[in-house]
Amino acid sequence: MSDNETNNEDNGFSRRIGILRVGLILVFFAYGVRLFSLQILSGELYRSRAQDISRRTAVLPAQRGEIFDRNFDRPLVMNADSFAVNITPAEVPRGGMAALTAAAAKILNIPQNEIEGKIPPQFYQLYQPVEIAANVPFTAIASLAERKDSLLGLSWNSKPIRNYADSQSLSHILGYVGDITRDELTMLYNQGYKQGDVIGKAGIERQYDELLRGREGWETRTVDVRGRRVAGRGETTRQAPEMGKNLVLTIDRRIQTLAENALGKRMGAVVVMRPTTGEILAMVSYPWFDPNVLAGGERAGYQALVNDPNKPFINRAIQSGYPPASTFKIVMTTAILAENAFPPEQLVLCSGEIDYGQRQWRCHIRPPGHGRLNLSQAMAQSCDIYYWTVGRDHLGIECIVSYAMDYGFGKSTGIDLPGEIEGFVPTPQWKDRRFHEKWVAGDTMNMSIGQGFTLVTPLQMANMVCMTVNDGTIYKPHILKEVRDPVSGAVERDTRPEVLHKSDLPPEIFATVRRDMRGVISEGTAQFPLNIKTVEIAGKTGTGEVGLENRWHSWFTAFAPYTTDNPEERVVVSIIVEAANEWEWWAPYASAIIFQGIFAEQDYEEAVRSLGLQYLMPIQGRRE
């Protein structure tokens, strides 16, 4: 190899070394510029981002508003201190979810699969806390705190639970709360609800959940890699939660307890209301349930209530339909008077039974029957033969249906409680569609005495009497009286009487009906249990036959006082005692106790003794 070739190789190598040096210098220069940019020019920005990453925002739950009766003295529903436990999936070390849920399940004494069911694998990357247990006692929280360092991703917070004081018969009115379900969240997500929220499930808690739930607060603070709060680093910001509104109900605690004891442990319902405003003073449905069990999240207690054959979740005052029986004769009397279909003074012979349609129709008074009766006497004695005859031969089914609808049967009352049913008023067209059968005169006869296909709720029955009392006007029944500020107690909203329906019939018609209802008490079927000295009562009994087993519902619906210079003091009472109970015709007696207690300002035991009914039933163990 020549010297020239050697020199050329050396020069090429030197050039490559030079290029490499320049390249290295440029790389280091670029890194230097980048480091200068990150640390000096953008240092504050990244320090702020790093601090943000180490900050955690915790939700501060809002307390639900309290619920009071109309006296606004002590709450029917309040809040009790409790804790909820959460898991933030993204903070759990990789592969550590099973160990964490197993440890939490052991401490909280709940099944591990129940926890895992709330955190499916698709949630593992979420920084949103998932609630795994509520109503956790402080002892369990203390055990979790002792193992905080080994339970990464697990946290807890204060979460008040509902405490229903002296609920019993108030359970159907107040309702209960529970964790929001996925189906509920799907429907309510756009209204600000989220996973883990507590929501009203029934009653007032559900109807006015938006008012009661309040507004959550939040707190942001700096934490270390284990989620522990770092003192002196970063500013803690906080937005205080806002408590929900307090609700004042139209319910009178004293009258509610009186009605509860008067019905006793009998399946049925009681409604007490002011006809001039639509205010519900008491609403009882038996059997009832304990909402504290449900608010505490006890699955076993909930399942036991669901499986109870007596259906304690059903509010029989608005969610069960019954044949109105002879109380329907108020509708019939109104129709007879208004249509001039049959002279009210003309007599009809009741011999105790009549033959029609290849069957024998028997009045409740067997032969020789009631004898000859006019309209007022037929109402007082609840004579079936009178109403069978006039309904079939002079009114007709279309007329009867029209007046039943005018009284509000077959339609919702619009009460501010969820789940109300409409009841049912049959028509010839309905029977043809349903059974492919024509309506016959026997169907009209059945409907004329409140039997057959007609179904009404106790609240609709109370509205029927309210319409009679108010000369044709029905006010919308309501439970909410006022909405109050939880801090100052100031009234923010009150419920004004709202006309639900107004009949075109003249007041004279209703005055005559009221007079005939008074005759039921003064000389008719309810003379013994209801002819009390404290107040004059007007009403109507009803005995609804159920099936072919000689079982009967016991109805009574009434108002008092019969005459008054102050219509505001009038009270309507409607009671149904179901055929499931031992037959004792108890509805009229229960009504007497309620009217006596209201107008004599007596409790249950005092009212029973005043009426001399203490020998009809035991009064021990009643709720004071």
Domain residue spans of the chain: 3-53, 55-247
Structure confidence at residue 43 (pLDDT) = 60
Q: Which residue has the tokens 């039933």?
A: 617
User: Which two tokens mark 206?
Assistant: 């559900």
CB-side neighbour CA atoms (13 Å) of 454:
30
Dihedral of CA atoms 266, 595, 333, 499 in degrees, nearest 10, equals -100
Three-state SS for 44? Answer: helix
Structure confidence at residue 299 (pLDDT) = 67
Structure confidence at residue 623 (pLDDT) = 43
Cα 313 from Cα 289, distance rounded (Å):
7
Three-state SS for 512? Answer: helix
177: which strand partners? 200
Structure confidence at residue 489 (pLDDT) = 92
Q: Are 447 and 413 in contact (CB under 8 A)?
A: no
Structure confidence at residue 535 (pLDDT) = 95
Chain centroid to Cα 509, Å, comes to 37
Residue type, position 18, single letter:
G
Per-run averaged pLDDT (10 residues), the chain, 624 residues:
59 73 78 71 58 62 92 92 86 88 90 88 81 85 87 84 87 92 86 85 96 85 57 67 94 97 96 98 96 74 87 96 96 97 95 90 88 96 96 96 97 96 97 96 96 96 98 98 95 96 97 97 88 93 80 94 95 95 90 97 95 69 40
Structure confidence at residue 619 (pLDDT) = 45
Three-state SS for 544? Answer: strand
360: which strand partners? 355
Q: DSSP assignment, residue 481? A: E
User: Which two tokens mark 306?
Assistant: 């669901």
Q: Are 63 and 214 in contact (CB under 8 A)?
A: yes
Cα 68 from Cα 52, distance rounded (Å):
44
Count, residues in the chain: 624
Q: Which of 165, 166, 164 is nearest to 202 (CA)?
A: 164
Cα 1 from Cα 40, distance rounded (Å):
56
CB atoms within 10 A of CB 363: 22
Structure confidence at residue 228 (pLDDT) = 53
Q: CA of 360: how far to CAs of 231, 426, 445, in Å?
A: 91, 23, 12
Which secondary structure element, helix H or strand E, spans residue 269, and what is its range? strand 268-273
Sign of dihedral through CA atoms 476, 479, 485, 491? Answer: positive
Q: Are 87 and 507 in contact (CB under 8 A)?
A: no
Q: CA of 5: how far to CAs of 11, 14, 16, 17, in Å?
A: 10, 14, 17, 19
Structure confidence at residue 295 (pLDDT) = 72
Structure confidence at residue 30 (pLDDT) = 76
Query: String of b and e for 549-581 (b: at least 16 CB within 10 Å)?
Result: eeebbbbbbbbbbbeeeeeeebbbbbbbbbbeb
User: Which two tokens mark 127?
Assistant: 């920084």
Cα 178 from Cα 213, distance rounded (Å):
12
Cα 529 from Cα 613, distance rounded (Å):
9
Which secondary structure element, helix H or strand E, spans residue 214, and what is its range? none
Peptide bond into 418 cis (omega under 30): no
Cα 365 from Cα 377, distance rounded (Å):
14
Residue 604 buriedness (CB in 10 A; 0-12 / 13-18 / 19+): buried
Categorise residue 623: left if φ over 0, alpha if ψ from -120 to 50, beta otherwise.
beta
What angle do helix axes 329-339 and 507-522 make, rounded to 10 degrees?
140
Write the CB contacts of 41 (distance below 8 Å, at least 6 apart in sequence). Answer: none
User: Which two tokens mark 218?
Assistant: 């939040």
User: Which two tokens mark 389?
Assistant: 């005859």
Structure confidence at residue 624 (pLDDT) = 38
Cα 200 from Cα 214, distance rounded (Å):
13
Cα 590 from Cα 584, distance rounded (Å):
11
474: which strand partners? 501
Q: Which fold has domain 55-247?
A: Penicillin-binding protein 2a (Domain 2) (3.90.1310)
Residue 284 buriedness (CB in 10 A; 0-12 / 13-18 / 19+): buried
Q: Are 279 and 272 in contact (CB under 8 A)?
A: no
What is the biggest distance separating any 2 CA atoms in the chain, rounded to whole angstroms?
Answer: 153
User: Which two tokens mark 309?
Assistant: 């054959």
Cα 450 from Cα 546, distance rounded (Å):
12
Chain centroid to Cα 530, Å, comes to 32
